[in-house]
């Protein structure tokens, strides 16, 4: 692993931006209809449960990344295979995020620009930052989280003063009962993005104050969860549930409706730039964790020698879907059927194996005494 350290502020910034990701601009949690906000909150609480599993494992193996302690827990060979599966999962998730960002950019602001060109520029920029190391990425996150917060405050104020908010659009609560809310929370809002935070188990060994992991992780998770909850409610209040369901990127339409004094309008660039920041960091974190995982499993010298080859694979992989509908189908399949193994099932198995081993160790020690 790279000999580097990141501060608690840098970790918080990366986690907060990571959680917003593409969830900020898509119709997140909309399967729960007008109660999308509640489904997001329940998904956030699911993310808190996941955290305590990851935190327990981190306390047991604080100097190792996820790919390191899979081998400690499951053995040399099975643990190596599971570590490799995590790397493949990280890389596949990167492909989905690259494509989502490219499609938004093409559909909103750059319709004449080939999708491949946008993809190449994004991946090359990320490769350059990751070549410089995790400390540079952390310091960059410290700067951009401030810009992101300012954009968020500005966007909310403009929507509020534009008079487009209709409170009746988010009422009545529980119109369709608890079933769609719980189903959405379980299968949509918990795994994405809160379950995806399992990727940070690869970065925790870099933290300069590991005793503060719990405070940093939970504060970032709750802050981002509340932000997503507010954004989903705002979209529904402005657009109405039917339009949000039809929209691919409802936040873009919400901001697009701002018109103050027939002068302040066409503010789509705020959303696009916000997505550029969040997707850039989300992809960078997944990419870096995949790189150090490969270095760890294959005993390479450093991550820098494999950045460009893996970057080329990502460019090719993100262009595999022939259109955005096919991409969305793959994205939903990943979230609904594949991700569950990586954010909850495998960590739970690791937790159980570790608890059983610790119990036997304590038993052996008591017998020796």
List the one residue out of 205, 179, 267 whose CA is nearest residue 57: 205
Residue 291 maps to a domain: yes
User: Residue 99's CB: how many other CB atoms inside 10 A?
Assistant: 24
Domain at 259, CATH number: 1.20.1740.10
Q: Is residue 2 one of the residues assigned to a domain?
A: no
Identify the bridge partners of residue 264 per DSSP, sorted by sequence position: 260
Q: What is the pLDDT along the chain (369 residues), one digit of tens a residue?
A: 667 889 999 999 999 999 998 888 888 888 898 999 999 999 999 999 999 999 999 999 988 999 999 999 998 899 999 999 999 999 999 988 888 888 878 877 788 889 899 999 999 999 999 999 999 999 999 999 999 999 999 989 988 888 888 888 888 888 888 899 999 998 889 988 899 999 999 999 999 999 999 999 999 999 999 999 999 999 999 999 999 988 878 988 888 888 876 767 777 888 888 988 999 999 999 999 999 999 999 998 888 999 999 999 999 988 876 676 666 776 677 766 788 899 999 999 999 999 998 888 776 666 665
Angstrom distance (rounded) from CA 58 to CA 91: 23
Euclidean distance between CA atoms 176 and 192, whole angstroms: 23
Q: Is 337 exposed, middle or buried (0-12, 13-18, 19+ CB in 10 A)?
A: exposed
User: pTM score > 0.85 for this model?
Assistant: yes
Q: Is residue 281 domain-resident?
A: yes
Is residue 29 in some structural domain?
yes
Q: How many domains does the chain have?
A: 1
Task: Classify residue 1: in a domain, yes or no.
Answer: no
Domain range holding 220?
Answer: 8-368
Burial of 223 per CB tally in 10 Å (0-12, 13-18, 19+) = middle
């Amino acid at each position: 692993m790279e000999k580097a350290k990141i501060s608690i502020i840098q970790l918080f910034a990366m986690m907060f931006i990571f959680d917003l990701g593409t969830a900020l601009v898509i119709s997140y949690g909309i399967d729960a209809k007008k109660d999308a906000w509640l489904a997001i909150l329940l998904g956030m609480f699911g993310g808190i449960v996941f955290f305590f599993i990851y935190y327990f494992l981190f306390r047991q193996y604080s100097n190792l990344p996820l790919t390191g302690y899979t081998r400690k827990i499951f053995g040399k060979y099975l643990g190596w295979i599971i570590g490799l599966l995590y790397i493949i999962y990280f890389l596949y998730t990167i492909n989905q995020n690259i494509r989502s960002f490219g499609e938004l950019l093409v559909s909103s602001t750059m319709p004449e620009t080939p999708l491949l060109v946008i993809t190449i520029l994004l991946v090359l920029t990320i490769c350059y930052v990751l070549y410089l190391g995790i400390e540079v990425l952390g310091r960059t996150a410290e700067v951009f989280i401030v810009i992101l917060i300012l954009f968020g405050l500005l966007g909310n104020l403009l929507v509020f003063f534009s008079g487009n908010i209709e409170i009746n659009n988010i009422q009545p609560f529980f119109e369709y009962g608890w079933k769609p809310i719980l189903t959405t929370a379980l299968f949509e809002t918990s795994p994405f993005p809160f379950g995806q935070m399992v990727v940070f188990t690869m970065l925790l060994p870099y933290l300069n104050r590991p005793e503060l992991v719990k405070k940093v992780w939970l504060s970032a998770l709750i802050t981002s969860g509340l932000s997503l909850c507010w954004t989903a409610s705002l979209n529904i209040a402005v657009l109405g549930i039917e339009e949000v369901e039809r929209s691919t990127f409802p936040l873009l339409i919400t901001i697009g409706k701002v018109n103050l004094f027939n002068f302040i309008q066409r503010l789509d660039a705020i959303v696009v730039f916000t997505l550029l920041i969040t997707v850039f960091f989300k992809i960078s974190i997944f990419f870096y964790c995949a790189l150090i995982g490969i270095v760890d499993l294959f005993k390479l010298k450093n991550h820098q020698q494999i950045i460009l080859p893996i970057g080329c694979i990502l460019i090719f992989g993100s262009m595999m879907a022939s259109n955005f509908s096919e991409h969305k189908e793959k994205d939903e399949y990943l979230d609904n059927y594949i991700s569950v193994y990586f954010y909850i099932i495998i960590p739970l198995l690791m937790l159980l194996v570790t608890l059983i081993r610790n119990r036997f160790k304590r038993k052996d020690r008591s017998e020796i005494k």
